[in-house]
Amino acid sequence: MDRPHSEVFGRNCLLARRLVERGVRFIQLYHGAGSKWDGHDRIEPEHTELCGAIDQPIVGLITDLKRRGMLEDTLVIWGGEFG
């Protein structure tokens, strides 16, 4: 969350971890409102930017869940534009 580019999604990942701690059974994180991942032009630069905003927060969330022993009981599903 100390990088402006990934701060918003990083905060969402932190919120997701807190919800898992409180027993919320289903949490969906989404990044790229407005179909930003639906690339047809400039795919490489646009997806590079989007990936740069989510890669470290996701690693942080999964690492944090594992460190706290919650990953054993948490199913993490990663989906893309085509599921």
Q: Which position has the higher pLDDT, 6 or 39?
A: 6
Give yes or no for residue 43 having a pLDDT over 60. yes
Average model confidence (pLDDT) across the chain: 88
At residue 55, the pLDDT reads 93
For 39, 42, 64, the CA distances from 57, given in Å and listed in that order, are 22, 24, 10
| Most confidently predicted of 18-27, 44-53, 73-82 | 18-27
